[in-house]
Chain A
């Protein structure tokens, strides 16, 4: 193998239909051109999950991938990426999770797992020190995701194992079902929990004691120590340990970006009640960090008094507190903790759940949807609705399909207030006064998620109503740098929040793998993967055009009702210009299709061939 460290050089293919496990080695192409994590997920989905395979078909696959940096000595190397054809969008989906699962998987001898086929009975996949087996899980089916993890730790008599589990929502094929790991970490987005549910996989358990090979241990230690010292000296580190992402609630509110009542508003009058300060003073009991983190930002909270007393959760995170908090108009941090734990246990993505519930309530209020008892601010009613979704009871059965499909069924006004892009609910940044962030949502390759480009800080820096071309350029830059972290498979927050220089990652990659590559060369891998995921969409939806890259009509048609940007809405013409510039800089045509020359320059000639065979029209460029 070309890499002299960082990889275990093994991928296990777990076929549930045949109940058979095959082990394959990494190829030079996987190591050099796709590196790991979402790079591998995208390549494997392209190669193995053709057009027409529906997300819940046995032929869909779940790729669980680490990267060369997972489990190495550096801040934030506890990441794992999951990829699959998404039940929310029918196209490329991924989600990553922190904690320790990826470290255990590598120490068990595997860089990645490919889960394929379908079991007829509930199973879990066990990966222990070089052995992969498919085990019975009838006794776990029906349990909450945290209950299942605890049951596995008890029956295997080992607390050091790491699990990925689904809850009832995944079992019941709720399209936005999540995957839980290490109590409170989630691969939340794009519904991969439901894909595992469709395959009757309740859990994947990993435990390993092998060395992770490192090309140059001394250099790795040197780079790591410098990075830790950098983080420890940084004032932001303390703040991140104290409040984690919850610092963002008040920041977002002050900047008219806090989703409120189905994103009809961007300023929440009770923001202080669900803020980082509220969490720290009222419910916080400790921290939980991902593997080797220098700024462990995970919070552990417990409700101390009132009717939810004793409820414990890892979190809340900003996204959760915003999407099920302000977006559903909850009244207190305690209510947020309660619903957060409920979603975690049921195995529901808190972002999409908050989006779907708020959308349903708005539709009810507008007389568009019957059968909803819950209202904004009604924590008990919302909790019941969330359970109805997870168990597919009553109206919950319809809502389990996600905002887009419900809106299409209802039509008219419902489509205008359906806050999603390409079928995935928008995460927690209201972007009517943030054109770069709107573009980031419009062009994110899994649907409307902030992870690929958190561009709102740039809007705040250069101007909230400007549609200048530099915004398109910045979004592309972020889409490459940020997704590179999901390819190397480590956490981006030390860079995003503490400005840890990117040169550290170039040095670390070299020390770990022995491959001498400049950061720009790694960025090209991220660009290759971004083009490949775009082509997965195109293969699935040959008619996809630029209209797919627009955020929902509400942001163009309704001005913000309050706050410093009152009256501001997205400008359709300005957004169109941004999108043109974005496509131009990417080497895509004016409908967002990568040109043949662009694809070939990224070693994606095989994509051109297959798309042309399928009759997808690509321009030469």
Chain B
């Protein structure tokens, strides 16, 4: 399974962010999340962007990691804290900008799908996030 993102429905309210941070770290801090919702203001348009791991086929983040800290375990991209050197090379490799860092935390933040029950999907008020098996 993976997250399906419907950006045209997103209202960039950020409830996914805080839900994620609370579910994983029990802290009230949307900047400690593995998902972000952003509004982009263009000249004659406004677009919402949801930045999160899509579990893409190529997984360039894993290839970009020089220390082998990122692995695909068959369900999600797993981070091995012992191997991670915080070089941050994984983040720019992600085509969906879905990897984040926070200075309090010594690992990259990558969506782990909440053990198969993504909490952000439950809480999104506009149904911009879905779970898909494809």
* Cβ–Cβ contact B38 & A288, under 8 A: no
Q: Which of B13, B26, B42 contacts A296 (CB 8 A)?
A: B13
Asked whether A288 and B26 contact (CB < 8 A) given A231-B125, A293-B13, A296-B126, the answer is no
Is B18 engaged at the interface, CB distance under 8 Å to the other chain? Answer: yes
Residue B46 CB within 8 A of the other chain: yes
Q: Is the interface of B mostly helix, strand, loop or mixed?
A: mixed
Cα A96 to Cα B15 in complex, Å, equals 21
Looking at chain B, what size class is its interface with the partner chain?
35 or more
Q: List chain B residues, Cβ under 8 A from A300.
A: 46
- Chain B residues, CB < 8 A from A217: 22, 26-28
Interface residues of A in 133-168 (CB under 8 A from B): 146, 149-150, 159-160
Q: Give Cα A232 to B15, complex, Å.
A: 13
0/1 interface trace, chain B 100-134, chain A, CB 8 Å (1 if under): 00111000000000000000000101100000000
Chain A residues within 8 Å of B8, by CB: 286
CB pair A291–B41 under 8 Å, yes or no, is: no
Chain B residue nearest in CB terms to A287: B11
Q: Which of A237, A291, A310 contacts B13 (CB 8 A)?
A: A291
Picked from B15, B36, B39, the residue with its CB within 8 Å of the CB of A182 is B39
CA gap between A575 and B38 in the complex, in Å: 49
User: Which residues of chain A in 487-509 are interfacial with respect to chain B, using CB atoms and an 8 Å cutoff?
Assistant: none
In the complex, are the beta carbons of A73 and B125 less than 8 A apart?
no
Question: Is A250 part of the contact surface with B, judged by Cβ < 8 Å?
Answer: no
Contact between chains at A183 and B30 (CB < 8 Å)? no
Which residue of the partner chain, among B11, B13, B38, contacts A159 with CB atoms under 8 Å? B38
Chain B 1-23 interface 0/1 with A at a Cβ cutoff of 8 Å (1 = within): 00000001111111100110010
With A228-B123, A290-B13 as given contacts, are A71 and B39 in contact (CB-CB < 8 Å)?
no
Tell me the complex Cα distance, A314–B12, Å.
13
Q: How far is the CA of A214 from the CA of B13 in the complex (A)?
A: 21
Interface size on A, residues (CB 8 A): 49
The chain A residue with its CB closest to the CB of B14 is A291
Q: Is there contact, CB below 8 Å, between A73 and B11?
A: no
Q: In the docked arrangement, what's the CA distance between A472 and B83, Å?
A: 68
The yes or no answer to A292 lying at the interface (CB within 8 A) is yes
Q: In whole angstroms, how far apart are the Cα atoms of A149 and B38 in the complex?
A: 15
Give 1 or 0 for each of A582-603: 1 = CB within 8 Å of chain B CB: 0000000000000000000000
**B12 → chain A closest CB, angstroms:** 6
A289 / chain B contacts, CB cutoff of 8 Å? 11-13, 125-126
A150 contacts across to B, CB distance below 8 A = 41
Whether the Cβ atoms of A287 and B126 lie closer than 8 Å is yes
Bound CA span A312–B39, Å: 14
Number of A-B contacts (CB under 8 A): 110
B67 at interface (Cβ–Cβ under 8 A)?
A: no
Is A103 in the interface zone, CB < 8 Å from B? yes
- Asked if A211 and B46 sit within 8 Å, CB to CB, the answer is no
Cβ contact within 8 Å between B125 and A293: yes
| Whole-angstrom CA separation of A293 from B16 in the bound complex | 10
Most buried by A among B10, B12, B26: B12
Q: Is A26 an interface residue (CB 8 A)?
A: no
Beta-carbon nearest neighbor of B19 in chain A: A73
- Taking a contact as CB atoms closer than 8 A, the residue among A159, A231, A302 that contacts B44 in the complex is A302
The reply on A372 being an interface residue by CB < 8 A is: no
A285-311 Cβ-contact flags toward B at 8 Å (1 or 0)? 111111111111010101000000011
Question: Of A209, A288, A292, A302, which contacts B39 at CB under 8 A?
Answer: A288
Q: Say yes or no: B11 contacts A183, CB within 8 Å.
A: no
> Bound state CA distance, A71 and B21, in angstroms?
13
Q: Per a CB cutoff under 8 Å, which of A149, A221, A295 touches B22?
A: A221
Q: Is the CB of B45 within 8 A of A312?
A: yes
Q: Would you call A213 an interface residue if the criterion is a C-beta within 8 Å of the partner chain's C-beta atoms?
A: yes
State how many angstroms separate the Cβ of B19 from the closest Cβ of chain A: 8
Point out the residues of chain A lying under 8 angstroms from B126, CB to CB.
241, 287, 289, 296
If A73-B28, A209-B102, A213-B28 touch, whether A183 touches B39 (CB-CB below 8 Å) is yes
A210 within 8 Å of B (CB atoms): yes
Q: Are B13 and A211 in contact (CB under 8 A)?
A: no
Q: Smallest distance from the beta carbon of B17 to chain A beta carbons, Å? A: 9
Collect the chain B residues with CB atoms within 8 Å of residue A287's CB. Answer: 9, 11, 126
**Which partner residue on chain A sits nearest B44 by CB separation?**
A310
Which residues from chain B sit less than 8 Å from chain A, CB to CB?
8-15, 18-19, 22, 26-32, 36, 38-46, 48, 102-104, 123, 125-126
Task: List 9 interface pairs A-B (beta carbons < 8 Å), by A numbering.
Answer: A150-B41, A217-B26, A220-B28, A237-B125, A288-B11, A288-B12, A292-B15, A296-B125, A298-B11
Known A217-B26, A312-B41; further 10 A-B contacts with Cβ < 8 A: A73-B22, A103-B14, A107-B29, A160-B38, A212-B28, A212-B29, A241-B126, A285-B45, A286-B8, A312-B45
The 6 tightest CB contacts between A and B, nearest first, are: A289-B13, A296-B11, A289-B11, A310-B44, A287-B11, A209-B31
